[in-house]
Amino acid sequence: MSAHHRIAIATGLAIAGALAAGPAGAAITANADGLKTFLDATGGSSTKNIDASAQSGFDPFGADKLVVTLSCEGQGGLKTLTSISYNGTTLNPVVSESNSGELVGIYYADLDGTLAAGTLTMTFSGNINGVGGSLIALNGTAPGFGATAQVDGLSTTIDASAGSFVIAHAGTNDSGPVTPQPDLTPLLLFGPGGGTGSATGGSGYQFVSSANSNLPITFVDGGYRNPATVAAEFDVIPEPCTLALLGLGGLLVARRRRGTL
């Protein structure tokens, strides 16, 4: 075996080891005012404008990612979310699930750190019985999103990588607030009653330290009806050393294909 081949093998093993170990030292963090909730209990409208800063003190300034979770009950049947924005920045869908008239979803936007506190605007395909959800401002995230999960129920799993951030949201009808269990930190609990009708909702999150291909996502709610649960993972930005190893690996592959290795 030539010296070039031995170097290529050693480099490949180093890359594999670095990727298996996860992004050591890298971490996703939330803004000081970046883990908040919102609730609009006013039924009978298809558009919601919520001053999240005034309601909960949410502030995404400095963050590189905005995540919104929500659940609601449509009046006279399911109503879909047709648009969602925060202070003029459009959010993209990550994952959603519906069960009868209950809608649950997660949405995100990659940011440049300059988005200021403002109004959350949601437009639905018809009138809803209020809406509740979570507002999350994160730092240290890779662009886009990672794994997702969804189920007509209150229990599922998600493939979570080391250093990632996982958020989950569940909604039901005619019961008390859904409570995340056991390793999710509760963020939102609401309903039923008032303008939200019979809708209930809850969310929870976890900063994942070690990779888990079957991270449990479970909510508890006695006497629930029409449950739906969604979860999403947001990956950490790789450490510079990991990026360098990946780049070196790509270079070695390219040289081997050209016959220069």
Q: For residues 2 and 227, what is the distance between their CA atoms, to the nearest angstrom?
A: 61
Q: Which residues pair with 210 in a beta bridge?
A: none
Give the mean pLDDT of 106-135.
96
Q: Is a pLDDT exceeding 80 seen at residue 92? A: yes
pLDDT, residue 17, reads: 44
Give the mean pLDDT of 4-21.
43
Exposed e or buried b per residue across 145-166, where buried means at least 16 C-beta atoms within 10 angstroms of its C-beta: bbbebbbebbebbbebbbbbbb
Q: For residues 198 and 175, what is the distance between their CA atoms, to the nearest angstrom?
A: 7
**Residue ranges per structural domain of the chain:** 3-21+241-258, 29-237
Residues 141, 202 contacting (CB under 8 angstroms): no
pLDDT, residue 12, reads: 45
Exposed e or buried b per residue across 187-212, where buried means at least 16 C-beta atoms within 10 angstroms of its C-beta: bbbbbbeebbbbbbbbbbbbebeeeb
For the stretch 127-152, pLDDT in tens is 998 899 999 999 999 999 999 999 99
Q: For residues 71 and 101, what is the distance between their CA atoms, to the nearest angstrom?
A: 11
Q: What is the DSSP letter of 143?
A: S
Q: Is a pLDDT exceeding 80 seen at residue 119? A: yes
pTM, to two decimals = 0.83
Closest CA to 231 of 176, 177, 175, 164: 164
pLDDT, residue 205, reads: 98
Residues 171, 71 contacting (CB under 8 angstroms): yes
Question: Hunting for tokens 């939200």 — which residue is that?
Answer: 196
Give the mean pLDDT of 105-124.
97
Q: What is the CA radius of gyration of the chain?
A: 21
Q: Which of 39-43, 92-96, 172-176 has the lowest mean pLDDT?
A: 172-176
Q: For residues 41 and 117, what is the distance between their CA atoms, to the nearest angstrom?
A: 21
pLDDT, residue 165, reads: 98
For the stretch 240-260, pLDDT in tens is 644 444 454 454 445 555 555
Q: Is a pLDDT exceeding 90 seen at residue 117? A: yes
Arithmetic mean of pLDDT over the chain: 84
pLDDT band at 26 (very low <50, low <70, confident <90, very high): confident
pLDDT, residue 135, reads: 98
The angle, 0 to 180 degrees and rounded to 10, between the axes of the packed helices 240-258 and 3-21 is: 150
pLDDT, residue 101, reads: 87
Closest CA to 185 of 111, 132, 139, 134: 134
Q: Is a pLDDT exceeding 50 seen at residue 198? A: yes
Give the mean pLDDT of 216-227.
84
Say which residue, 158 or 190, is predicted with more confidence. 158
Give the mean pLDDT of 1-25.
46
Question: Hunting for tokens 């992004």 — which residue is that?
Answer: 23
Q: For residues 110 and 89, what is the distance between their CA atoms, to the nearest angstrom?
A: 10
Q: What is the DSSP letter of 195?
A: G
pLDDT, residue 219, reads: 93
Closest CA to 55 of 72, 38, 74: 38
**Degrees to nearest 5, angle at CA 113 with 115 and 163:** 120
pLDDT, residue 200, reads: 84
Closest CA to 134 of 191, 189, 87, 199: 189
Q: Is the dihedral of CA 107, 111, 117, 118 positive or negative?
A: negative
pLDDT, residue 2, reads: 57
